[in-house]
Every structure is written in C-alpha cells, then in structure tokens.
Structure 1
Amino acid sequence: MEESVVLFDKDYVKSIEYEYRIPPTSIGVRRRRPSSKTVMNELKNIKRKKKKQKQEPGKKESDVGTPKKADSSVKEESKKEATDSDSKYFQFSNVDNKVKDEIEELTAMDRSAYKNLPAFLTLPMMIQAQKNNLLERNPNLEDLVSGAKVDDELAQKWADEIKISMKEAEVVRSQEEMRPMAYKLIPEPWKRLRDQCHKTDKKISTANIKNMDLEGAPSVVYSKNVQQMDHMKNIDMAIIYDCLYNSFNELHISCGAKFGCDYLLYDGNRSERHAFAGLRVLSSTKDDQGNVNFSLPTAYDLQGYVRGLNTAGKLALLATVIDKRVLVVDLALEKILSAPTHRRKRSTEARKAIGQNLKK
C-alpha cells in the first residue's frame, strides 16, 4: 500500500489546499542565512518604527518596515565576517539586497506549503485527492474509507466509559493533601462548534485539475517511507479524515503535531482562521462476540491534553472507528465553581468560551 505522495508543483499544491480543502505539509528545506548584527539591527529599527507609527497615526504605512541602506561601515563589517576563519557562514558581498531578503523572510507570515516545496500528502489526504480526481485513482483505497458515518449514539457510550475509567484517578486525587481540583473533565459526544463546519449553501467546486505527468521529471512521487505509523491507526486516520471531510463541507483538516494531536480542525480557509479544535485518533477493537473494546487513555494523559488545547483556545477531541462508524468525543473542561480559586474570582460560568477568536 502506498502511504504518501510527495508533490513538486507549485500550482498543484496551491490548488488542492485552497480549492479542495486538502492542505499538504511542507517538507522543503528553507534557506537559512546568518542572522548577523546588520539584520538584527534592522529588525529592531522596524519594530521601533511600528511603535512610533502607533504614536503618530498620520505616518504612512509604507514608511514602516523599509530596511535602511547599509553604509560603508556595515560593508566593511561584512567583509571582516567573511574572512573570519571561525565563521560558519559565507557572507555575500552585496549586503544591501541580502539584508533585505533575510528581513523579509524572517518577518514573513505566509507559511503555505506551495511556497516551501516539496510538500507531501499523507495517506488520508492522498485518498481524498484521488476521490477528487487530483491523482491517479486507486479503487481499493477508496473502498477502504468510503461509507463511514459519524455515530453520536455510540460516541456517548465511549464517553461514558472514559468517564468511568477516570473515577479511580479522581478518588486518589481527592485524598491528596493538596488544594481542591479547580476543573473537572466531562467527556461527551462532539457538538460544540460543529454546526459552523457545515454550510448547506456552500458551492462545491466541480473543477478538475489535470493529473500530473508521472514520467520524466516528476511532479508527483509516491513514497512508502515519508510517514512511519502503526498500520491500523493509519487506516483509522484515513477513515476519520474521509468521514469528516465529506460530512462537513466547510471543514479544513491539517496536521496537528504541533499541538500534540493528529489533526487540527478549521471551520474555514486556514489562511484566514485559527484552528478551533485538535483531534487525537485512538484505535478501538471488537472481540469475537462482537463486544467493543474502547480505547481508554489514562486520566492524567487526558487532563494534560485538554488543558494544553484549551489554553490555546481549542476544543480537545478524541476519535475512533468501529465498523465504519466514526465516534468523536469532546473532552469538555468545566470549572468547579465551588473551588476556592473560582470563588475568589467570582466565576459564574462553568465552561470556558471556545471559538470567540477564530479569525486571524
């Protein structure tokens, strides 16, 4: 089974991310230049100008952030750096342009994959690209994920088992000579911020990108070694990705590694929104009698996962697959209003408001 695909075409990568909601991950090597004193001084100047502009509203925005032309003393300094035997970098002689280039790169906000080629699609995204006729189609892979549906009723059973599994940890924690817990974890089927991921009036693009030429200088290269992961979890991730992608036509899904989860969920274009949730995929099984053995993380692992995402203003979700039924559980964190810390602050709302600052 092919596990991933590496992409080398700028227009192709840009289109599948913004038109088809399939964001690849950049694996390109960004050029790294020495952050010399010249560059750092220019960055400080830019910050000072921006601060001054706030105090002087009439100043033109174009006057802010323009690097000063390096004088002769700066050029002499760069030549000295270039001849230093201990220097690890080669200093270009044309200081003016290189300083400007480095400042623009350091202050750039757009980290889109198409600007940092090559990029790659993992198995779940690769399958979705095939279903949209963006890659050579593989019916076997498509049949593997098709037909999955979100099952809230079974998700409730999973949430109940997670809650029961946490009881022992809660008892042990209550017996410790420490201040009372200020929060409690309430597992429940995912409902919060869910409606905004589906818009009935959204027009689904029927445009088709011409398949990349796989002969000669490749624009698309299939690989088995980009991603190392347990086989069953990889399949579960593909099923969950396909189900959520096709169930919610406004949902954008990307890699969630930087927040300790498998996926980040956006309710719109990633260039305009912050993620509203992180989703971690767990593998559950069924025994010979048909009984479901839900995956049950430890209470300590769940608390850390939830607090980390909630602090970043995101929901903490868990997902698993049982017979093409996708279960998504929201690990809601609620305040214990009787706890001393909340009494002092006179808190009256049990749950933290999530999703108020999604726009960038």
Structure 2
Amino acid sequence: MEKPHANIRRKAAAVTLWPVSRLGGIERYNIYLRDLLKRYGVQLDFYSLDSLKLNIAEKIFARLIPGLREFLLLSRAVEVNACRYDFVITHNLAGGALKSGKIPVYAVFHGLYASALASVDRDIQHRFGNVWKRQCLKHLEGMTVTRPKERICVSSDLRRQLRRFYNVPSSVIDNCIDISHFKKRPDRRTIRSKLGIAENDFVGIYAGRWDPIQKAVDILVHIIGARKDVKWIVASDASEVPKGIENMVVLDRVGYEKLPIIYSAADFALQLSRYEGFSYFALEAFACSLPVISTPFGVAREVLEKANMHPLLLPRARKTSQFMKIVNERIERLKRDHTYRETAGRRLREITAERYSMSVWEKEMARKLSLGRRYGSGRILERSASECSA
C-alpha cells in the first residue's frame, strides 16, 4: 500500500439518520469514519433526516409509507450530488436505495429489522409498530440488502443474521472502541464512595437506552427487584427509569468521558437484550475488565465464546420464571467466585484489546475502502462531465 498524503482533498458521503451531534452508536461510528478519512485528506459530508427538504408530495408519501424518507428520499438527496464524491457510505436503511455503479456504495449494517422482529415474542411484536409499518420496514430492508453494493457487517453475528434472513454475502469489520479510554480505573473505593456504594457491596451495572422492547429493561427491573443482595448501577435516561428502588443507583445520561469511571465501580454487567447487532455497552464493559452476563447477540456472544466463557451466555430473553432462574444462577456464580470473576475480566479485556481496538478497525476499514490505493500517491482523478450528469 502506498503511503497516504494528508494534504490531498477529496470527498465522500455518509448517509445516516441523525447528525453526529446526537452521539448514539451509529453517530459515534460516523465520528470514527470522519476522523479516519480526514487523515487521508478526505472530507466526509453527512446526509441525515434533519437536512432533508421535501416537497408536499414527498411529505405525503413519507407519512403513508414508513421508512420511505430513510430508504428513498435520503438516497435521492445524495444522488443529486453524486459526482462530488469518490464513494458513499450508508447505514442500515438510510440511503438504502443507493447501489454501486460509477460510484462505489459501502453499506454498513449495524442491525437487521427482520432479525430483531424475529427475536421477540409474538405477543410484543406489535410494539415495533402496526402490521403495515412492520411490513413496510421489512420490505424496504430487503431491498436495501439485495441492491448491488459492498455490504459490511459490524459483527460476525450480524453477518450470520444477514445470511439467514436474506441469503446475501457480506464482509465483517468488527466495530471498535477506544481501548486507551475504556479501561478499569484503579480508584474503585473512591468512585464507589462518591456514588454512595459501600466498598464491599456486590455491584452490577446496566448502561444504555431504557428500552423495554429491544433492551428488555422490563425483565431487568424484575431481576433488580429480586436481587436485593446486589447493588445496581443504571446509567440511562433517569426520567424513564422507575423510581423508589432502594438497591439501585440511577445516573442520568452519563457522558462518554465518565463511562469508564462508572464501569470501574461495578463487579459485573448485565445485558438482557432481546436483540443486538453489536452492543457498545458490552464491549465497553469487557474493555473495563468486567464479566458480562448477556443474551446471545452481537459482540457479547462473539467475545464470550472466544474466551470459552459460555456460562455467562444466556438463552434468548423471555419474561418467564425459567429465564429469571437462569439469570440469577449466573449472577450467583459471579458473586460466589471472586477468582473466576477477576480471571474472566482480565481475559475479556485481552480479547477486546486484540480484536476491537480503534487501530485494528482503522486498518481494516482503510483496506476495505481502498484508501491507500485511492489517495496514497496523491493523484486526484477528475470525473468527466458525462459521469456527473449520469
């Protein structure tokens, strides 16, 4: 690969639901992309829903057909300016109508709607929307996946899902976190004291969106209530978390900089999600040397299986006494066996550092996007007028 030159100015486009200022999982991914491309002298332009300018007819159709704005209208906004870009990166349904042609399209999949829907019990599927909405989103997702483009999954588990539901090939570039940022802090006693947690308490943590459907926090609340012997930290939107649970410390919308500090106060993490395509929460906890008890989705499944820690994997989340019993057994083992807990934490940190660091992701993504080949020599390839008008 040729050595890149940072002073070359080129452009790429990223199609996404929300601007990076929102700072969700995909938004963080876009920040990583922006920073990577900047080092190659490439400007990344973002197309998101808040930038769409729709006429009256488009607004009407967008109301009638769920997912149309993301799939089609965002795609059209990019197509109008396509000649400005060397390539386009899309995320899930956003920009789904785009396909590779004169300009390559890289479709990054962070999750699958069809897989998420299949992962929940039939009696709660209605909470994903009415039948019309569910059918529209599944159909548009199918069109997104099957159009000609380079498909990239953020986890091996997601690639299996893509093959299962749509029978299409894809490559995997594991998502990443900043390993130097997410690491266990040594001053746990001080951290716990500030949170009002005793030094000898056995502490579990959940950090993420308070979502009773995907994240299964409806089940989490039952577990927290049943395990009075565990002190729980919940880092989420405090306005949505139930009040009055004595053994739970609620931290409102903990910022990125403080997350490793909060993880360092815990002994283990608990993820009961009914579906995950990846899960930053699980990976951040692993990086902070926490054993994670998790349902078998996304990166949690991959890391726990690689570490040969199958006892920490749960079956699919179900609101049944049998599932609750299994969760409690996993918690009890971690509480009882301090040596296992510490050994597991160290091993999970090692795997995370080896496979999911930003340096590994940057290398793989640069290779997939052919950044060295495109920009390494400093050559700027001009597009012809016919290409711009095509």
Fold equivalence (TM over 0.5): no
Q: Which protein has greater RCO, CA pairs closer than 8 Å, 6+ apart?
A: 1
Using the size of structure 1 for normalisation, the TM-score is: 0.24
Structure holding more helix per residue? 2
Larger CA Rg, structure 1 vs 2: 1
Using the size of structure 2 for normalisation, the TM-score is: 0.23
